[in-house]
């Protein structure tokens, strides 16, 4: 009996194990590279030397420490063979008011200083590549992440570029001032500095935490060519077109914002892991994950080399759909292919269809999937409120709670899954029914935002192909393991994608986790055998009870020690 039960569950257990392993590969940045790394490659150990120098103390705009950092940066750029200029301007009124609130002073004027370096290329008539990060911090934060990680990455990138000889075109480095009080240095450069007319492409480096993968989260509009160059060049990629689409419509800003008004091919790369360290007084060099530095720098170096050696910079072409597959390579295609994927999905379900398949089971499967998403979303919304989320919550304290909020989301998903699907195995008709709500979402997404909803259309496509194979008598023996392979891929992707969603918007809207969860569930359903009522009831109640306990822990926990002081 035990051996038979194991056989029935072996495919699912294997899929879950492989899927979670793939998720770990995707969300864990590559290993740091030491001081013995070849000089033409990126070394996080070498970059960390700069991090420790720059992030030795807080250095907000206008401070003595900020002046020391500028001097250090100018010296480093000069040592790298760059022509260096310190470009001065004045903080605008609103930015000055914010700085005064931080410092408690009443300054009527505050100069800011951009540090600019130019590495001459072999053909100086070609448009230049600009690498950009900001050198100021918020009040009381050493800023080893925001944005020393970007500064140090750029310095190490230029070192590596120098090792392979003179670049084909000029390389400009811009370390801006006043970013934390309104992007002031970047706004001045892109509106006033003559070098702006020389720039043809921009890579901006940012940070919103002390760890995690570094992700391409924003591009210039019409990113078809730019995304394809990224896909060809970057060997350990992290990024997707869902993030670039969503960020484009959000009100958030970085130093890249002023650049996007120009005709530049633009990339924005940032890490958002260990979010509790965002703007934190505790984010010194020791708190920064060196693996994150390695990931940001290695991606940046690959992209920099590709742009420097390109015959021409990427031109504006229709936006592409793209995503990294477990950090191993980038999948990219024209959004119109999404319609083809949906067409194949439909055929895979229609071709083997018989009249007796459209039965009650189909409706049951559809109702269960809708119920899973609606109930899960509502419960997550309620638990977020119970944990202290919503209006009036401290944003940074919520960031510090993300790991526990992820636990709440995971436990809630387990509870709702057991309550919805736990007791029985769905028939093929039931699986078809469970697919229908997600197929409708895929069609709507393809119509409205095809570059942002690829993960829905590709999921229903893969599940449809697996279903078609299972229904084929010639391949029935292998159908279960085909389904297990599809489930492993989709579990891995949806766990990693859900993790990024929770890092991005989870503290405010953890209900977003229900969509990737539903897509993973769709892949699991053909392998799910059902459990006894008592087991399902206990598992559901225990998961939900633990989720409630963690939500209350978050609510009653004191404000995190990492919360900024400004």
**According to the model, what pLDDT value does residue 280 have?**
97
Place of tokens 């359903």: 525
Cβ atoms of residues 457 and 340 within 8 Å: no
pLDDT in tens, 74-92: 999 999 999 999 999 999 9
pLDDT in tens, 489-542: 999 999 999 999 999 998 999 999 999 999 999 999 999 999 999 999 999 999
Query: Which band of pLDDT confidence, cut at 50, 70 and 90, is reported for residue 477?
Result: low
Place of tokens 């001097």: 71
Cβ atoms of residues 423 and 530 within 8 Å: yes
Q: Where in the chain is the domain with CATH 3.40.630.10?
A: 44-333
What is the C-alpha to C-alpha distance for residues 295 and 214, in angstroms, rounded to an integer?
A: 6
pLDDT in tens, 323-343: 999 999 999 999 999 999 999
What is the C-alpha to C-alpha distance for residues 204 and 477, in angstroms, rounded to an integer?
A: 51
Bridge partners (DSSP) listed for residue 171? 119, 129
**Domain 44-333, CATH class in plain words:** alpha beta
pLDDT in tens, 86-142: 999 999 999 999 999 999 999 999 999 999 999 999 999 999 999 999 999 999 999
Cβ atoms of residues 520 and 497 within 8 Å: no
Q: How do strand 128-134 and strand 171-176 relate by DSSP bridges? A: parallel
With b for 16 or more beta-carbon neighbours within 10 A and e for fewer, the 278-292 pattern comes to bbbbbbbbebbbbbb
Residue from 253, 30, 48, 36 nearest 151 by CA: 48
Strand, helix or coil for residue 207: strand
Q: Is the pTM for the entire model greater than 0.75?
A: yes
With b for 16 or more beta-carbon neighbours within 10 A and e for fewer, the 472-509 pattern comes to eeeeeeebbbbbbbbbbbbbbbbbbbbbbbbbbebbeb
Q: Is the peptide bond before 147 cis (omega within 30 degrees of 0)?
A: yes
Output the six-digit token pair for 533. 């009522």
The CA dihedral of 542, 547, 549, 553, to the nearest 10 degrees, is: 160
Q: How do strand 128-134 and strand 329-333 relate by DSSP bridges? A: unpaired
What is the C-alpha to C-alpha distance for residues 78 and 70, in angstroms, rounded to an integer?
A: 12
Residue from 332, 260, 302, 324 nearest 157 by CA: 302
**Out of 110-119, 238-247, 469-478, 542-551, which region has the weakest mean confidence (pLDDT)?**
469-478
Count helices and strands (H / E) in the chain. Answer: 19, 9
What is the C-alpha to C-alpha distance for residues 485 and 487, in angstroms, rounded to an integer?
A: 5
**Terminal alpha carbon distance of the chain:** 63
| Burial zone of 197 (CB within 10 Å; 0-12 exposed, 13-18 middle, 19+ buried) | exposed
Contacts of 326 (CB under 8 A, 6+ apart): 22, 25, 26, 492, 493, 496
**According to the model, what pLDDT value does residue 478 have?**
75
């Amino acid at each position: 009996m035990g051996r038979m039960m194991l056989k029935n569950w072996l495919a699912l257990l294997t899929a879950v194990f492989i899927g979670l392993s793939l998720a770990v590969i995707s969300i864990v940045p590559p290993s740091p590279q030491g001081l013995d790394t070849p000089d033409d490659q990126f070394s996080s150990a070498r970059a960390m030397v700069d991090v420790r120098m720059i992030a030795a103390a807080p250095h907000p705009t206008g401070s003595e420490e900020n002046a020391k950092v500028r001097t250090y940066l100018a010296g480093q750029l000069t040592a790298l063979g760059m022509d260096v200029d310190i470009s001065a301007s004045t903080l605008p009124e609103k930015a000055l008011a914010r700085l005064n609130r931080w410092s408690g002073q009443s300054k009527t004027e505050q100069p800011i200083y951009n540090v600019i370096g130019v590495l001459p290329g072999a053909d100086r008539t070609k448009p230049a590549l600009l690498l950009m990060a900001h050198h100021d911090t918020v009040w009381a934060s050493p800023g080893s992440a925001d944005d020393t990680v970007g500064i140090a990455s750029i310095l190490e990138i230029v070192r590596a570029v120098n090792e392979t000889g003179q670049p084909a075109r000029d390389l400009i480095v811009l370390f801006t001032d006043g970013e934390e009080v309104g992007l002031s240095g970047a706004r001045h450069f892109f509106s006033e500095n003559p070098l702006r007319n020389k720039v043809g492409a921009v890579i901006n480096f940012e940070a919103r935490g002390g760890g995690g993968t570094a992700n391409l989260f924003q591009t210039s509009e019409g990113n078809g060519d730019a995304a394809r160059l990224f896909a060809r060049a970057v060997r350990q990629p992290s990024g997707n077109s869902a993030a670039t689409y969503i960020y484009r419509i959000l009100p958030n800003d970085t130093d890249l914002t002023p650049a996007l008004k120009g005709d530049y091919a633009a990339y924005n790369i940032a890490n958002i892991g260990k979010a509790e360290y965002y703007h934190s007084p505790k984010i010194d060099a020791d708190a920064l994950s060196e693996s994150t530095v390695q990931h940001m720098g290695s991606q940046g170096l690959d992209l920099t080399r590709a742009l420097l050696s390109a015959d021409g910079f990427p031109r504006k072409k229709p936006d592409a759909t793209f995503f990294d597959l477990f950090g191993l390579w980038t999948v990219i295609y024209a959004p119109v292919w999404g319609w083809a994927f949906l067409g194949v999905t439909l055929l895979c379900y229609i071709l083997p269809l018989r009249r007796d398949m459209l039965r009650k089971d189909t409706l049951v499967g559809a109702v269960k999937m809708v119920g899973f998403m609606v109930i899960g979303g509502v419960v997550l919304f309620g638990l977020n409120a119970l944990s202290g989320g919503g209006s009036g919550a401290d944003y940074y304290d919520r960031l510090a709670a993300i790991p526990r909020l992820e636990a709440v989301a995971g436990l809630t998903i387990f509870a709702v899954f057991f309550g919805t699907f736990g007791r029985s195995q769905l028939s093929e008709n039931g699986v078809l029914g469970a697919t229908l709500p997600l197929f409708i979402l895929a069609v709507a997404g393809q119509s409205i935002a095809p570059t942002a909803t690829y993960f829905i259309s590709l999921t229903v496509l893969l599940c449809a192909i697996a279903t078609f194979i299972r229904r084929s008598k010639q391949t029935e023996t292998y159908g279960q393991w085909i389904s297990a392979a599809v489930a492993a891929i989709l579990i891995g992707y949806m766990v990693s994608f859900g993790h990024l969603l929770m890092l991005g918007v989870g503290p405010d809207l953890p209900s977003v986790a229900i969509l990737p969860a539903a897509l993973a569930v769709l892949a699991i359903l053909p392998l799910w055998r059902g459990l006894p009522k008592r087991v399902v009831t206990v598992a559901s109640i225990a998961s939900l009870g633990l989720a409630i306990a963690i939500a209350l822990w978050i609510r009653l926990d004191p404000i995190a020690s990492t919360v900024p002081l400004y």
